[in-house]
A = this chain, B = another copy of it.
Amino acid sequence: MARRNSVSKRLADLGEDALVKLLTRGLPQTPRTLTGPGDDCAVLRGPDKNRLTLFKTDCLVEGVHFTPGADPARVGWKALCRVISDIAAMGGEPHEALITLALPRTAPVARVQAVYAGIKKAARRFHCGIAGGETSSVPDDAPLMISVAMLGSVEKKFRTLRSTARPGDLLYVTGKLGGSLAGKHLDFTPRLREARWLAEHAGPSAMMDLSDGLAKDLPRLAAASGCSFLLYPDKIPLTPGCTLSGALTDGEDYELLFAVPPRRSSTMPAKWTAAFPVLPLTCIGELRPRSQKSTPLTGGWDHFA
């Protein structure tokens, strides 16, 4: 196929990361903004010098993030837990959310109430408030959409970005990867408690949550930190019944990926096991200087590829 010129180019010709790069170029920023586009959350300076504000939005679209037949209460749970997972990945705590529901006038009231029941359940479980939101109609044949905006905060000393790891740091993941579509993607537990523990006890040099698959997300963390990476494929913890390829590219794991300087990593796994005896923690690789080649990885979730 002939290459499209820039006028007729479609998003599918560009891919998600290139689109985001294009759109975020030259965005106006306020002086309060310490971390803008490119991390799990935006980080804002507030009046309290020791505590930073976290700000995040995330949306779910019917037919993309869940099927039309999915249990609406689990969809509501997922909508809120996805942003909580992003707040967790910064080392922070969630506070208030605003919920945007866009749905056709023909939608059953009971379905919408069930979505909200799932949202409320997650809010109570993770101690967030629902401070408001909005309902909008969409044309009759359009998909249901839920967008959640969340405020959180993190002590300045515990803030964990993607961009601050160094070559030589070891890479860890929590839990097991792959096979999320079998159900976990609607029922996962955001690693809020684990991330807080890590921020307080392990001093990760970088952290993010795995939403698009390790094959997509690990290169992002490494690039943000100006590193390349070496992955140990035989060390990747696989969900039972799942292949290595699935673990790399299925996405929606909502586990934590983080880096730890080698000097701190020797005692960390034992302390982790004492704190979280059930949830595995696995060293899956290491960061290297940018001049070295990364383990080649392809696949993972791309909205526009």
A96 engages B131 (CB within 8 Å)? no
B112 engages A29 (CB within 8 Å)? no
Q: Which of A126-183 contact B (CB under 8 A)?
A: 127-139, 141-143, 145, 147, 149, 151
Once the chains are docked, how many angstroms separate the CA of A192 from the CA of B247?
50
Instruction: Please pick, from B30, B46, B53, B110, the residue contacting A6 in the complex, using a CB distance under 8 A.
Output: B110
**A: number of interface residues (CB 8 Å):** 85
User: Which chain B positions have C-beta within 8 A of A149?
Assistant: 55, 57, 98, 149
Q: How many copies of this chain does one complex carry?
A: 2
Q: How far is the CB of A119 from chain B (nearest CB, A)?
A: 9
B131 engages A55 (CB within 8 Å)? yes
Q: How far is the CB of A169 from chain B (nearest CB, A)?
A: 25
User: Which chain B positions have C-beta within 8 A of A105?
Assistant: 10-12, 303-304
Q: How far is the CB of A212 from chain B (nearest CB, A)?
A: 12
Interface string of A36-65 (1 = CB under 8 A from B): 111101101011100101011111010111
User: Which chain B positions have C-beta within 8 A of A29?
Assistant: 129-131
Instruction: Please pick, from B28, B56, B57, B106, the residue contacting A10 in the complex, using a CB distance under 8 A.
Output: B106
Once the chains are docked, how many angstroms separate the CA of A104 from the CA of B142?
12
Once the chains are docked, how many angstroms separate the CA of A134 from the CA of B145?
14
Instruction: Please pick, from B44, B101, B151, the residue contacting A55 in the complex, using a CB distance under 8 A.
Output: B151
Once the chains are docked, how many angstroms separate the CA of A88 from the CA of B61?
30
B10 engages A109 (CB within 8 Å)? yes
- Measured CB to CB, the nearest residue on chain B to A62 is B139
A145 engages B108 (CB within 8 Å)? no
Once the chains are docked, how many angstroms separate the CA of A106 from the CA of B61?
16
User: Which chain B positions have C-beta within 8 A of A106?
Assistant: 10-12
Instruction: Please pick, from B53, B64, B100, B151, the residue contacting A136 in the complex, using a CB distance under 8 A.
Output: B64
Question: Given the interface contacts A10-B106, A36-B129, does A137 sit within 8 Å of B304 by beta carbon?
Answer: yes
A303 engages B136 (CB within 8 Å)? yes
Q: For the complex, is A266 an interface residue (Cβ under 8 Å from B)? A: no
Which 6 A-B pairs have CB atoms at the shortest separation, nearest pair first? A149-B149, A42-B131, A30-B129, A137-B303, A47-B48, A12-B105
Q: How far is the CB of A224 from chain B (nearest CB, A)?
A: 14
- Measured CB to CB, the nearest residue on chain B to A19 is B135
A137 engages B8 (CB within 8 Å)? no
A137 engages B61 (CB within 8 Å)? yes
